[in-house]
């Protein structure tokens, strides 16, 4: 592949490096030029373009990414369609992610043009979560390089989501003088909540003296009827011959490992009894906060073997208690009530109105009011917490039309590059505590404050985790409300790629809300604008 300035006479089949305009026609970045495109560019006086010229043995970025993803062997993972040289892979089940690090390293060593990134080894994942991504850096890559990656992928599994199993667990809690029943009761509730994440259940509890013999007897009984036994000692293990490890051996079991290099979680004991796993839980497991007990429990519930060597290898990254910002998924931070989830509106008003032949459609009058002011007023009249207006083309005139309104402005100096630049400029201004951003087009005169509220209400009912979009008679339209989880993906968009690409590529739940004809009416042409009741201004 050759990259750089290309004479327009030699550009047929080349891939544009930048969005390019030919009169009223606009070609997005990564567009492959046809014979008709070349004619249009010549007619517009374009003599050369910056582009990638593919060699005969090159594969386009999407084809290359798709071929590599198709060659991979994996389990419980869905491969998304290729887009902008990227293929994302998502978990089809909740579980523990495992990856062949040597294969990933080998692929990334083939050539910098080909990359793959994954979650960390043994990371817990939720169904639908992205676990890996294949990205081709340039617009094309040699087929021979893709072939090298395909050969690396052949023959063995590269990664997997090991799905959680709904196991049954019996719990033993030992008792010493002074141990409050309320502490034991709380331990049961916390343990039940941990198991609920997997669909597992606590079937029985035994409370025994903190002595070897009664613990051994209870462990034998519970192992007979359950997939796993968990023992909470009233006193922390202080020696490898202490009550919990000694009771496992007294019952005829084997202690795999006593002690682990994870803090909190140092005093965990792992054993086997009658083919079942027995965990002597450290005291920190009485709390829902993440600790070494979770690391072992997650893997066992996902059907993974945990050996003494595995536990010995958990020290790097095992210092949990000294990281105050570390997430605590077992005890989520209090969330705002759904009715209080904050939404900002990003109003796109940077476009050039190229189909209008000169006048700016956003300044057209509707009932004597500029269209952009009318749209902004409806945004301000909705339940949205704030309204951000993205300006670009004729920014001063647009800002003047919005004078006196309580909006925030986001300037987009790169508006000619396409829609993505305006999305990025607007999302960058969204309040840090906003759960989502509604993308509102400035040229949709039929969208009312009530319509915007309907989308916000649906977003809140979904807990702030779904994409919500307006529709009319079953057809998708605008506006579109994006959850915060998509903001990072917005920052990667290029050219004329908009929110629709994200909705299709990221695999989130999508809720369509019927808002009437206004969802499908924009005013891209003079005829459409005048038909909607607008009057263009020079």
Residues 217 and 110 in one domain: no
Q: Which one is predicted more confidently, 269 or 526?
A: 269
Q: What is the pLDDT of residue 507?
A: 58
Asked if residue 79 belongs to a domain, the reply is: yes
What are 502's two structure tokens?
């994200």
Residues 148 and 190 in one domain: no
Q: What is the pLDDT of residue 324?
A: 41
Asked if residue 330 belongs to a domain, the reply is: no
Q: Cis before residue 264, ω within 30 degrees of 0? A: yes
Count Cβ neighbours within 10 Å for each residue of 148-171 and write b for 16 or more, e otherwise. bbbebbeeeebbbbbbbeebebbb
Predicted structure pTM score: 0.59
Asked if residue 388 belongs to a domain, the reply is: yes
Residues 121 and 217 in one domain: no
Q: Given a cut of 70, is residue 424 above it in pLDDT?
A: yes
pLDDT tens readout for residues 27-56:
877 788 888 888 888 888 888 888 878 788
pLDDT tier at 334 (50, 70, 90 boundaries)?
A: very low
CATH number for the domain that contains residue 264: 3.40.980.10
Reduced DSSP (H G I as helix, E B as strand, rest coil) percent helix, strand, coil of the chain, to 5: 35, 30, 40
Q: Given a cut of 70, is residue 195 above it in pLDDT?
A: yes
Residues 138 and 187 in one domain: no
CATH number for the domain that contains residue 110: 3.90.1170.30
Domain boundary among 10, 27, 53: 53
Asked if residue 321 belongs to a domain, the reply is: no
Choose among 143, 297, 323: nearest CA to 227.
297
Alpha carbon distance, N-terminus to C-terminus of the chain: 46
Residues 102 and 235 in one domain: no
- Number of compact structural domains in the chain: 4
Residues 35 and 112 in one domain: no
Report yes or no: 292 and 122 within 8 Å, Cβ to Cβ. Answer: no
What are 354's two structure tokens?
């190229």
Residues 226 and 348 in one domain: no
Asked if residue 407 belongs to a domain, the reply is: yes
- Residue 182: CB atoms within 10 A of its CB come to 8
Asked if residue 332 belongs to a domain, the reply is: no
Residues 351 and 476 in one domain: yes
Residues 465 and 358 in one domain: yes
Distance CA 32, CA 415 (A): 22
Residues 287 and 267 in one domain: yes
Task: Determine the average pLDDT of the residues in 427-450.
Answer: 92
Task: Determine the average pLDDT of the residues in 152-165.
Answer: 96
Task: Determine the average pLDDT of the residues in 275-280.
Answer: 97
Q: Work out the percent of the chain whose per-residue pLDDT is above 70.
A: 93
Residues 97 and 224 in one domain: no
Residue recorded with tokens 């990856």: 99
pLDDT tens readout for residues 70-126:
999 999 999 999 988 999 999 999 999 999 999 999 999 999 999 999 999 999 999
Asked if residue 318 belongs to a domain, the reply is: no
Asked if residue 319 belongs to a domain, the reply is: no
- Residue 477: CB atoms within 10 A of its CB come to 25
Residues 233 and 291 in one domain: yes
CATH number for the domain that contains residue 31: 3.90.105.10
67 lies in which domain range?
A: 59-163
HSE-up (13 A, CA, CB side) for residue 55: 9
CATH number for the domain that contains residue 404: 3.90.550.10
């Amino acid at each position: 592949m050759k990259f750089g300035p290309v004479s327009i006479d030699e550009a047929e089949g080349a891939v544009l490096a930048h969005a390019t305009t030919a009169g009223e026609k606009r070609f997005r970045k990564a567009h492959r030029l046809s014979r008709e495109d070349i004619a249009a560019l010549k007619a517009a006086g374009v003599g050369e373009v910056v582009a990638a010229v593919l060699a005969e043995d090159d594969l386009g970025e999407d084809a290359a990414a798709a071929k590599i993803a198709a060659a991979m062997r994996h389990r419980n993972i869905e491969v998304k369609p290729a887009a902008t040289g990227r293929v994302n892979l998502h978990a089809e089940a909740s579980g523990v992610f495992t990856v062949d690090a040597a294969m990933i390293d080998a692929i990334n060593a083939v050539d910098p043009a080909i990359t793959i990134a994954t979650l960390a080894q043994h990371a817990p994942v939720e169904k639908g979560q992205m676990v890996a991504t294949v990205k081709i850096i340039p617009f094309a890559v040699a087929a021979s390089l893709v072939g090298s990656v395909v050969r690396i992928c052949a023959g063995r599994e590269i990664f997997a989501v090991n799905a959680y199993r709904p196991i049954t667990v019996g719990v033993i809690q030992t008792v010493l003088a002074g141990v409050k029943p309320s502490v034991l009761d709380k331990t049961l509730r916390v343990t039940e909540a941990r198991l609920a994440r997997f669909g597992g259940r606590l079937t029985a509890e035994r409370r025994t003296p903190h002595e070897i013999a009664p613990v051994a007897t209870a462990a034998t009984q519970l192992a007979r009827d359950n997939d796993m036994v968990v023992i909470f000692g009233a006193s922390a293990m202080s020696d490898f011959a202490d009550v919990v490890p000694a009771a496992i051996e007294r019952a005829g079991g084997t202690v795999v490992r006593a002690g682990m290099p994870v803090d909190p979680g140092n005093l965990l004991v792992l054993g086997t009894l009658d083919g079942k796993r027995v965990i002597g839980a450290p005291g920190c497991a009485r709390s829902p906060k993440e600790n070494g007990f979770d690391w072992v429990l997650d893997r066992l519930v996902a059907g993974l073997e945990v050996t003494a060597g595995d536990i010995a290898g958990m020290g790097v990254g095992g210092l949990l208690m000294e990281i105050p910002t570390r997430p605590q998924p077992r005890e989520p931070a209090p969330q705002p009530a759904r009715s209080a989830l904050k939404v900002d509106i990003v109003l796109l008003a940077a476009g050039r109105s190229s189909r209008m032949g000169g006048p700016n459609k956003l300044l057209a009058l509707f009932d004597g009011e500029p269209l952009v002011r009318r749209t902004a007023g409806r945004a301000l009249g909705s339940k949205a917490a704030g309204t951000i207006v993205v300006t670009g083309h004729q920014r001063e005139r647009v800002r003047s039309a919005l004078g006196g309104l309580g909006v925030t402005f986001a300037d987009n100096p790169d508006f000619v590059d396409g829609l993505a630049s305006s999305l990025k400029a607007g999302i960058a201004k969204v309040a840090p505590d906003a759960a989502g951003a509604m993308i509102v087009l400035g040229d949709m005169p039929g969208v009312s404050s009530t319509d915007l509220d309907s989308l916000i209400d649906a977003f809140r009912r979904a807990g702030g985790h779904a994409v919500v979009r307006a529709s009319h008679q079953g057809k998708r339209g605008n506006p579109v409300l994006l959850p915060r989880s998509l903001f990072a993906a917005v920052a990667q968009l290029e050219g004329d790629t908009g929110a629709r690409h994200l909705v299709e590529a990221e695999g989130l739940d999508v809720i369509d809300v019927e808002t009437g004809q206004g969802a499908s009416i924009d005013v891209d042409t003079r005829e459409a604008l005048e038909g909607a009741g607008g009057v263009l201004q020079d």
